[in-house]
Chain A
């Protein structure tokens, strides 16, 4: 446990030393500027427009910076061979990975809290709390995916492209599934059936990120405890799955 905590602390220190949180503050300033601009151009529902657009901007920014931080940090670890140093110590590979993941999770937690605070000006605090918690869950999944991709590819471009593809697909898989099931396209040819089955399979394997961090909570204040339970369960299951996959990969690596 002590080893895990030490690794988590080192990741947090790395975030501070690489000025990760300076980027977060710059994003918050940009979000504030965006809210002023939207306030200028809207005729009615100004607060709704401000809260939804800023929330979308902050959510995408959080995904981008946290994922990039995880990937660059791990690539740096491979390049300066510090991973070899860690693994030469009496430290289990599982403890190494969980320690790293815990550190990244802490960085994700601080990011989601800071971004949530920025929305308190527009939205009731309960809905902001739900949104921030959901963003944290979304970031946990993205952190785990980023770890898995970087352990597999060891390169920033490949790993980040994979994470981006995963995120876009996980957020739009429901819409793709609905389009594929449309009665107008109800063809019986084998290629259509194959594509439909593939989409069904993808929908089964991907987390339903469409239900996470919804703008509707901020605009129409419709978020409730049931949403939270569903999100927490999905995050727990999927994060454990991704960590297991990463551990499987890490234990097989000849490091």
Chain B
């Protein structure tokens, strides 16, 4: 590595000329090329899960993470920001499903479905994302409930679809685990109240109190007060 280099003067002038000319030629060539293709690529369907497993080379978690980052960046193409309106949500949902199949413990696909892609100003597309989170919730309720709780709020306040919000809230209560907070299990009571279904709300609160599963005195006190308020409203 300590070899002494010869002086530049030893290089034949024709070589130096050739070097300068070829460099200039390359610059001129790049300059005259047409601008990069700005055609927006459409989201393709994901490959079969078997193929994705093979091309993961035994490390499906890394593939899931790389695919998720690629999908998240798909709306930025050739320097342009695409609106979610331009994305094919059926294919998007298929991709999210495949990513969750590769790494079932990851929460990222559910986060982007419930928080990012559900913000599209298109009720049909919003509904697709909400339903995706709803169906995925049943695979692992103990870790996926926060995303269903979020889409319940989206259905209630953004879509103004109270029956849909009720369906999601009921799924959370029906699959409740001890680690879930109280508010998540009780969401359905407030939705029923907003729907004017006071009798059903009263029955649910009464059922929760009668089940004997509640141990927190504050929770029991809160539900008793709620029961009284509902009975007053019914009268």
Contacts of A49 in B (CB 8 A): 65, 69, 108
Distance A82 CA – B58 CA, assembled complex (angstroms)? 39
Q: Report the minimal beta-carbon distance from B211 to chain A, rounded to whole angstroms.
A: 34
A176 and B61: CB pair below 8 A? Answer: no
Docked pose: A184 CA to B53 CA in angstroms:
17
Contact with A along B49-85 (1 / 0, CB 8 A): 0100111111101100110010011000000000000
Which of chain A's residues have a CB closer than 8 A to the CB of B106?
Answer: 45, 48
Cα distance, A214 to B62, chains bound together (Å): 9
Residues of chain A in range 160-183 having any CB-CB distance to chain B below 8 Å: 168, 171-172, 174-176, 178-179, 182
Among A172, A175, A209, A216, point to the contact of B61 (Cβ < 8 A).
A216
Q: Which residue of A lies closest to B63 (CB)?
A: A56
Note all chain B residues with C-beta closer than 8 A to A219.
61, 105
Interface size on B, residues (CB 8 A): 22
Report yes or no: B105 in contact with A220, Cβ–Cβ below 8 A.
Answer: yes
Known: A175-B56, A178-B50. A53 touches B107 (CB 8 A): no
With A41-B72, A45-B108, A178-B50 known to touch, is A52 a contact of B56 (CB < 8 Å)? no
Q: How many A-B residue pairs have CB under 8 A?
A: 67
CB distance from B157 to the nearest CB of A (A): 22
Cα A41 to Cα B57 with chains together (Å): 25
* Contact among B61, B69, B107 with A215 in the assembled complex (CB-CB below 8 Å): B61
Task: Determine which of A52, A175, A220 lies in contact with B65 in the assembled complex, contact meaning CB atoms within 8 Å.
Answer: A52
A15, CB-defined interface residue at 8 Å: no
A52 in contact with B50 (CB, 8 Å): no
* Interface pair B50/A182, CB less than 8 Å apart: yes
If over half of A's interface residues share one DSSP class (helix, strand or loop), that class is named, otherwise mixed; here it is helix
B111 contacts the other chain (CB 8 A) = yes
CA distance A208 to B73 in the complex (A): 34
Residues B58 and A172 in contact, CB atoms below 8 Å apart: yes
* Nearest chain A residue, comparing its CB with the CB of B52: A175
Q: Say yes or no: B57 contacts A168, CB within 8 Å.
A: yes
A7 to B129 alpha-carbon distance, docked (Å): 62
Which 4 A-B pairs give the minimum distances between C-beta atoms? A210-B58, A175-B53, A171-B57, A171-B58
New A-B contacts (16) at CB < 8 Å, excluding given A44-B111, A172-B54, A215-B61: A41-B72, A41-B73, A45-B107, A49-B108, A52-B65, A53-B66, A56-B62, A172-B53, A172-B57, A172-B58, A174-B58, A175-B58, A178-B50, A210-B59, A215-B59, A215-B62
29 contacts between A and B (CB under 8 A): A38-B69, A41-B73, A42-B69, A43-B111, A44-B107, A44-B108, A48-B106, A49-B65, A53-B62, A53-B65, A56-B59, A56-B62, A171-B57, A172-B53, A172-B54, A172-B55, A172-B56, A172-B57, A174-B58, A175-B54, A175-B58, A176-B54, A178-B53, A211-B58, A215-B61, A215-B62, A219-B61, A219-B105, A220-B105
Which A residues form the contact surface with B (CB < 8 A)?
A: 38, 41-45, 48-49, 52-53, 55-56, 168, 171-172, 174-176, 178-179, 182, 209-211, 214-216, 219-220
